[in-house]
Structure 1
């Protein structure tokens, strides 16, 4: 699925309540598309438990161990995800997920601070970090613009 097809699917699956399809189409989808185009793949592999819970990794600052963030890694290939899993937990499995769906899920995953997308196979030193708070802020800005343009305010996306 290309990016536009992925976004159409998200819009089609949006609940009808509170005008969510319109909010998805005019505010959320354009933001997801903008970010997705900064990444190199249309789908990434996410490590999951057998219960289909995404693998969250806690990273700690090297000098200040009290500073930490929770991330989910997104790999460019099944081989990359499998290699990473073998070092951490061989019980994990990896499934391909469309990039826009990953970004959309990030909004709902309050316990996760960021996704780190690896675009080069075998290179885990240079990932692109997408922070939840930044994505949320961009979408809030789009919702504000949408609200200013319309007579009726869109649903409060929280």
Structure 2
């Protein structure tokens, strides 16, 4: 699936609660922009058998009291075997996930600080980091630009 198809799939499978599909349509341009920075249409993400994504806590090399939680995304299944994950653990599995789905899921995982996408098959030493805070900032800016351009996005001052 190309990026547009992936995004449409996210929108089509969003909960039909009256607002989520519209929110998805509004965040889709930011997700697409971030996905275009990456090389692959899908990556392998290590998950538990109940499909919870496995995060790693990384410590700062120079400031040991600073940590961040990351998700690793690999270009091939073989690269997962070279990762810090214990691939012999029967409770873990690596599954392919469309890149836009990873980025969207990252927004929902508040305990995750970023996702590191390994771009070169066979090399799990250098990756491209996408921070959740950066995505949130771009979404906020996009929503503000829409509100400035179209009054329907403005919240009425007498809403209470």
Partner of 2:143: 143
Confirm whether residue 39 of structure 1 aligns to residue 38 of structure 2.
yes
**Inter-CA distance 15–53: structure 2 relative to 1 (3 Å threshold):** closer
2:40–2:119 contact (8 Å) kept in structure 1: yes
TM-score (norm 1): 0.88
2:39–2:119 contact (8 Å) kept in structure 1: yes
Distance 1:4 1:100 in 2: 9
How many Å apart are 1:16 and its aligned residue? 4.5
Distance 2:16 2:51 in 1: 27
**Cα deviation digits, residues 104-154 of structure 1 (max 9, x gap):** 001110000000000101212210000000011101111111222333227
Q: Secondary structure at the match of 1:152?
A: helix
**Tell me, which stretches of 5 or more residues in structure 2 are unaligned?**
156-160
How many Å apart are 1:55 and its aligned residue? 1.1
Distance 2:50 2:21 in 1: 30
How many Å apart are 1:12 and its aligned residue? 1.6
Matches for 1:21-40 after TM superposition, within 5 Å: 21-25=21-25, 27-40=26-39
Q: Secondary structure at the match of 2:139?
A: helix
TM superposition outliers: structure 1 runs of 4+ over 6 Å: none
TM-score (norm 2): 0.87
How many Å apart are 1:17 and its aligned residue? 4.3
1:112–1:132 contact (8 Å) kept in structure 2: yes
Larger radius of gyration: 2
Distance 1:52 1:15 in 2: 18
Q: Secondary structure at the match of 1:84?
A: coil
**Tell me, which stretches of 5 or more residues in structure 1 are unaligned?**
none
Partner of 1:9: 9
Q: Secondary structure at the match of 2:81?
A: helix
Distance 2:14 2:154 in 1: 14
How many Å apart are 1:63 and its aligned residue? 2.3
When you count helix as a share of all residues, which structure comes out higher?
A: 1
Partner of 2:127: 127
2:79–2:122 contact (8 Å) kept in structure 1: yes
Give the number of aligned pairs: 153
